[in-house]
């Protein structure tokens, strides 16, 4: 009798334990489903903003939020690489001194050694590329690593490269990880590559809508870098370009890594060679060149 009671109690206890375990498991499953539902909903909201931004100025900001929210992508920077010309920054998230660290220093010259930029110059197929796929052996001993990567505290990088115009104009979405973070895993790369076809379509559709504007912008960009040739030296043309973009002598010296006094000397010489006496006259000469109403240099 006692044994029977014990058996009944044991069976009942086991049933109650199994019931609690089943309810607990069901509860965890519901939480997991709800979490996945929230994540999917958030992802779709971010993606909807990207699709809605095609053809609009806000597209770049929407892409950055999508990369950050859906792929844990840190702080993306979006460029237009156009051959060996200085890249054009379409989106960057930094403020204050960080702009110089992460963008200004890069545009001052190191971009010419960037494996991703070189890949675009060599006209690689559009797609998602990791730093490890494109960087040379002994990357940490390279001049690019020493001059920029280490300076910006970068650890790893993955880029969407999308050719938007022949022969070598690419929209580039750079997704970086820094030294306080972990490098991209194979799972991270798989996740980013799963979005490649969609990213390529979005970037190309956007570029088609802005083809004329982009062409005009590239024309101005090329004219600015070519301004003063052949009268001016390469350094004087660099200084002239920065002046036309609104930089002061001090700001230009930071970009070029020379003293402000040296910038002022270059400025004085280029003004003399071009026959102008002020920034406004320099700008007028440049506008005349762009509009085709003046020569490349007097």
Residue 172 lies in a domain: yes
To which H or E segment does residue 80 belong?
A: strand 77-82
Last residue of a domain, one of 160, 184, 210: 210
**How many domains in the chain?**
2
pLDDT per residue over 16-70, tens digit each? 555 554 454 444 344 344 434 445 567 788 889 999 999 888 899 999 999 988 8
116 and 146 together in one domain: yes
Give the model's pLDDT for residue 73: 65
Phi-psi region of 103 (alpha: psi -120 to 50; beta: other; left: phi over 0): alpha
Give the model's pLDDT for residue 296: 43
pLDDT per residue over 104-157, tens digit each? 999 988 999 999 999 999 999 999 999 999 998 899 999 999 999 999 999 999
For residues 26, 31, 36, 39, the Cα torsion angle rounded to the nearest 10 degrees is 170
234 and 259 together in one domain: yes
281 and 188 together in one domain: no
Percent of the chain scoring above 90 in pLDDT: 45
Checking if the pLDDT of 194 tops 70, the result is yes
Residue 88 lies in a domain: yes
142 and 242 together in one domain: no
Percent of the chain scoring above 70 in pLDDT: 78
Residue 83 lies in a domain: yes
**Predicted confidence band of residue 171 (pLDDT cuts 50, 70, 90):** very high
Q: What is the CATH number of the domain that holds 201?
A: 3.30.450.80
pLDDT per residue over 82-100, tens digit each? 998 899 999 999 888 888 8
Q: Which residues span the domain enclosing 277?
A: 227-291
Integer distance in angstroms from the first to the last C-alpha of the chain? 116
Mean pLDDT of 232-244: 87
Residue 192 lies in a domain: yes
Mean pLDDT of 279-284: 85
Give the model's pLDDT for residue 30: 42
């Amino acid at each position: 009798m006692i044994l029977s009671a014990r058996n009944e109690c044991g069976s009942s206890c086991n049933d109650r334990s199994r019931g609690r375990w089943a309810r607990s498991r069901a509860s965890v499953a519901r939480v997991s489903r709800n979490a996945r539902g929230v994540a999917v909903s958030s992802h779709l909201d971010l993606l909807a903003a990207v699709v809605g931004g095609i053809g609009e100025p806000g597209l770049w900001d929407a892409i950055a939020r999508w990369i950050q929210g859906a792929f844990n992508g840190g702080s993306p920077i979006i460029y237009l690489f156009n051959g060996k010309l200085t890249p054009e920054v379409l989106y960057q998230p930094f403020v204050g001194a960080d702009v110089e660290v992460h963008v200004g220093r890069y545009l001052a010259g190191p971009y010419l050694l960037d494996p991703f930029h070189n890949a675009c110059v060599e006209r690689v197929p559009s797609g998602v590329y990791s730093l490890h796929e494109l960087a040379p052996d002994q990357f940490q001993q390279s001049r690019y690593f020493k001059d920029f990567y280490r300076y910006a505290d970068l650890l790893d990088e993955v880029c969407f490269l999308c050719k938007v115009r022949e022969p070598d104009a690419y929209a580039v979405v750079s997704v970086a990880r820094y030294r306080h973070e972990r490098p991209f895993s194979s799972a991270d790369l798989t996740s980013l590559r799963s979005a490649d076809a969609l990213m390529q379509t979005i970037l190309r559709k956007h570029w088609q809508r802005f083809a004329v504007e982009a062409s005009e912008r590239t024309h101005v960009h090329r004219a600015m870098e070519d301004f003063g040739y052949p009268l001016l030296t390469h350094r004087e043309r660099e200084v002239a370009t920065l002046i036309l973009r609104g930089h002061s002598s001090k700001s230009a010296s930071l970009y070029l890594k020379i003293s402000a006094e040296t910038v002022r000397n270059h400025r004085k010489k280029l003004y003399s060679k071009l026959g102008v006496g002020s920034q406004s006259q320099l700008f007028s000469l440049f506008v005349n060149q762009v509009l085709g109403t003046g020569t490349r240099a007097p």
